[in-house]
C-alpha cells in the first residue's frame, strides 16, 4: 500500500515536511558543492583579481577606490563625495581605475560602484580562463540544482494547504513552514561564482597576508582592502572610505569567504606579506 502524504494527520504531515525540509537543505548544499568545478590552482597576486574572488564587484570597487586614494588621484569629503585631485597617474593599468577616473570631477559612491562593475568584465573573463571562476551557464545550472529540492517541497506543501482549506482545517503551522521554505529557496538562488580552486586561492592569500589585516603599509592598502575589506583603513588617513562603506546599507565590502570547497596546492601569491 502506497502512503499518501496528503492524507496524513496534520501533526504527522508537519513532522514529515520539516524532515523533508532539512533533508532538502542538506541535499542542496551537497549538490552545489559536488557540481562546482575544481578549477585550476595557481598563483594570484593581482589585487583586482583577489578582490573579485573575495567579494565580487563591490569589493573590487572598494579596492580600486583605495588604490586611487593612496595614489592621490581621489579624495573623499565629509559628505561622502569623491573628487579627482588633478594628480592622475600617467598610466592607469586597471580597467576599473580607468572607468572611475572617466567619471565627472566629483562622484558619489553609487557612481563609482557602477563604474567598477563596467570595468569588471575583463577581470572576470581572465579569472574564468584561469579556472578560478565559473561561467554563466554553470551559474544557472548550480542555481537550478540548489533550489530544485525546495520547489518540489513547495509543491507538496501547497497541495496540502489547498486540501486543508477545502476541508476547513487549520493550516497556520503549515503556512509558517512554507514561508521558511521560500526564504531558504531564495537564499539558495545565490551562487558562489568561484571554483574550488578560486576559493582555495582566497584562503591561502589571506593566510599568507594575515599581517595586512592589522598593519598594512601605505603601498599595501589596496591589497589589504581586497583581502580583508575596508576595515583595514580604520585609523588611517583613508578612514572616510571605511566609514562610508560600513554605514552603507548595500555594502558588501566586509563580506567573508562565502563558499567553495577544498582544493589543495598552489599559493596565494602574496610573497612579502607574512611575518
- pLDDT single digits (tens) 238-262: 777 877 777 664 444 334 344 333 3
For 82, the enclosing helix (H) or strand (E) is: strand 81-84
Q: Taking the CB of residue 124, how many other CB atoms lie within 10 A of it? A: 17
User: Coil, strand or helix: which one is 81?
Assistant: strand
> CA-CA distances (angstroms) from residue 63 to 37, 106, 107, 128, 202?
27, 18, 16, 20, 15
Number of Cβ atoms within 10 Å of the Cβ of 71: 18
Q: What is the pLDDT of residues 142-198, one digit of tens each?
A: 999 999 999 999 999 999 999 988 888 888 999 999 999 999 999 999 999 999 999
Average confidence (pLDDT) over 98-122: 78
pLDDT tens digits for 22-77? 999 999 999 999 999 999 888 888 898 999 999 888 898 888 888 888 877 777 77
Interior/surface letters 233-266, b for 16+ CB within 10 angstroms, e for the rest: beebebebbbebbbeeeebbbbeeeebbbebeee
Measured CA to CA, the distance from residue 246 to residue 123 in angstroms comes to 25
**CA–CA separation, 119 vs 158, rounded Å?**
44
Half-sphere exposure of residue 67: CA atoms within 13 angstroms, side-chain side: 24
Instruction: Answer for the pair 4, 117: CB distance below 8 angstroms, yes or no.
Output: no
**Which three cell numbers mark 15?**
513532522
Q: What is the CA radius of gyration of the chain?
A: 23
Nine cell digits for residue 35: 557540481
pLDDT band at 88, cuts 50/70/90? low
pLDDT computed for residue 265 by the predictor: 35
Separation between Cα atoms, residue 180 and residue 122, nearest integer Å: 39
CA 163 to chain centroid, in Å, comes to 40
Confidence of residue 78 (pLDDT cuts 50, 70, 90): low
Amino acid at each position: 500500500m502506497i502512503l499518501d502524504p496528503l492524507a496524513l494527520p496534520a501533526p504527522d504531515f508537519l513532522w514529515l515536511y520539516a524532515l523533508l525540509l532539512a533533508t532538502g537543505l542538506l541535499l542542496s548544499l551537497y549538490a552545489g558543492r559536488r557540481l562546482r568545478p575544481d578549477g585550476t590552482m595557481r598563483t594570484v597576486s593581482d589585487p583586482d583579481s583577489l578582490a573579485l574572488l573575495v567579494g565580487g564587484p563591490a569589493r573590487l570597487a572598494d579596492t580600486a577606490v583605495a588604490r586611487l586614494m593612496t595614489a592621490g588621484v581621489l579624495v573623499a569629503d565629509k559628505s561622502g563625495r569623491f573628487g579627482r585631485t588633478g594628480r592622475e597617474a600617467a598610466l592607469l593599468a586597471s580597467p576599473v581605475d580607468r572607468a572611475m577616473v572617466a567619471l565627472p570631477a566629483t562622484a558619489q559612491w553609487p557612481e563609482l560602484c557602477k563604474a567598477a562593475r563596467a570595468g569588471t568584465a575583463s577581470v572576470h573573463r581572465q579569472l574564468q580562463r584561469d579556472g578560478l571562476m565559473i561561467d554563466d551557464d554553470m551559474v544557472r545550472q548550480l542555481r537550478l540544482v540548489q533550489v530544485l529540492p525546495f520547489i518540489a517541497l513547495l509543491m507538496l506543501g501547497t497541495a496540502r494547504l489547498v486540501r486543508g482549506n477545502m476541508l476547513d482545517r487549520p493550516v497556520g503551522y503549515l503556512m509558517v513552514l512554507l514561508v521558511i521554505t521560500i526564504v531558504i529557496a531564495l537564499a539558495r538562488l545565490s551562487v558562489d561564482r568561484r571554483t574550488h580552486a578560486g576559493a582555495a586561492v582566497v584562503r591561502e592569500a589571506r593566510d599568507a597576508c594575515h599581517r595586512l589585516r592589522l598593519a598594512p603599509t601605505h603601498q599595501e592598502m589596496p591589497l589589504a582592502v581586497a583581502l580583508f575589506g575596508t576595515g583595514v583603513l580604520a585609523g588611517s588617513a583613508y578612514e572616510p572610505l571605511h566609514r562610508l562603506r560600513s554605514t552603507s546599507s548595500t555594502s558588501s565590502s566586509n563580506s567573508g569567504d562565502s563558499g567553495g570547497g577544498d582544493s589543495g596546492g598552489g599559493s596565494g601569491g602574496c610573497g612579502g606579506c607574512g611575518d
